[in-house]
Amino acid sequence: MNVITKTTLLTLGAILTFYSILWFLPEKEITYMPDDTLRAYALSHGLAPVPKTYQKLLEVTDNPKNPLSPAKIALGKKLFFDPILSRDMSISCLQCHLLNEGGDDNLPTAIGFHGQANPKHLNSPTVLNAALAKAQFWDGRAKDVEEQAAGPMQAPFEMNITPKLALQRIRKIPTYVEEFQKVFGEANGSVTFKNIQKAIGAYERTLLTRGAYDKFLEGDNSAISQSAKRGMNLFIQKGCKGCHTGMSVGGQSIQHFPLRRALSDIFKNDPFPFPNTGGFLGKDSQKLFRVPILRNITKTAPYFHNGSVKELKEAIRIMSKYQIGKEFTPKQIKDVEAFLKTLEGEPVHYQIDLSPNANLEKINLKGSDLSHHDLHSINLKNANLQNCDFFGTNLSGANLTGAKVDGANFTSADLSFANLSYVDLSHIDLIETKLESVNLEHAIWRGGRVCQKGSFGKCL
């Protein structure tokens, strides 16, 4: 027996011994926790419900480098649906990210400009809840949704547009130019490709979904079935939640796939437990992939990066076998599938509370049209009100202390008894504005004068 043959046999023997030991190791028992214990365990290990209100949304998805505002979100939504950003004006972002179909296109591979398929046969990750992820694309090469937005627009096999052509088109549409100026406040330079990315990113930061899973985490034991609860126990205790974690139930890390090899795969050349159509091997060709977001997973078939797996139950089987190292039984697969079904949800329609007496301290309303609203006694302390239109709006008794009001229009507004202390009004016209008993203490007025207590008349 020569050295090569002997070495080969010894290696095979070692591999067989290793897998045999794994096979006969006792399986860890699953403890099916009571509802309240299961919920508490999930919440303490990174799983969390999606917020219900706009103010809570800001705590979760707002980007300090691209602060959310209603006007910016509305502009981003308009661009997301507009085919003007594709070369032949036939494709919008919506084509690959159907919001009522799980946020993807339900195709094995994305189809773009002139029917071209993605050259690496990659399918479209969901845009729903994507803002919660720490990286974008299958290989995690973009850090956030703003950076990601630039890719599909410029890719020749997707929307195939250049920044120059995109800007030429936008600048020819007066309503777009006006909206960009109000949102970004740069009179002659607001329409930039970077600001297009920011607007689309702002809209995508609101595309979070809620469903039965969120209701369960918030205390409703009847929101999900017993089968789903068993599946959730398996998901947590078998280790799935180690990678599929966070509010998005995934998207928080880059992980190796497959993590393990099955004994039956020893002589296979294919790197994955399914055909590697397209030849993509993840980040740096090291089989490193951004962990998929599992919210709405039941609506985003086919599965894996190249859409090679059509059925969710088969995707669960593969993940249990190749990532966890112990293939789930048919009953376990059924229970996990029932749990994943609870992750279905509808996009939340986030709206700012613009009712009288609302607390909007530090809120960003830049560029918003708030004309003819009743906002009496609203708290806008330290809010960003730049370029807002308050024409004919009732702001009587409102607290605007320290608010930014550059470019705001208060024509015919009612600011009676409002608190405008520490507000810079040096470039604001208050045409026909009601200012009875308004507090202008320490406000900056015409010529840079600072209003002192008891000198309101002089300031006005």
Active-site positions read: 158
Query: What span, in angstroms and rounded, lies between the C-alpha atoms of 445 and 451?
Result: 7
Q: Where are the alpha helices (DSSP H) in 244-343?
A: 312-319, 330-341
Q: Which residues contact 4 (CB under 8 A, 6 or more apart)?
A: none
Residue pair 335/238 in contact (Cβ under 8 Å)? The answer is no
Which residues in 39-53 are b (16+ Cβ under 10 Å) and which e?
Answer: bebbeeeebbbbbee
Q: At what angle do helices 193-204 and 163-171 cross, to 10 degrees?
A: 80
Residue pair 117/111 in contact (Cβ under 8 Å)? The answer is yes
CA dihedral 226, 231, 232, 235 (to 10 degrees): 170
Q: Which whole-number Å values give the CA distances from 300 to 144, 214, 312, 415, in the listed order?
A: 21, 19, 9, 51
Residue pair 136/148 in contact (Cβ under 8 Å)? The answer is yes
Give backbone dihedrals phi and psi of 89, rounded to 5 degrees, phi first: 55, 40
> For residue 458, which amino acid is it?
K
Question: Helix, strand, coil shares of the chain as percentages rounded to 5?
Answer: 35, 10, 55
Residue pair 128/99 in contact (Cβ under 8 Å)? The answer is yes
Query: What span, in angstroms and rounded, lies between the C-alpha atoms of 356 and 374?
Result: 6
Residue pair 83/75 in contact (Cβ under 8 Å)? The answer is no
Number of H helices, E strands in the chain: 13, 4
Helix (H) or strand (E) holding 232: helix 226-237
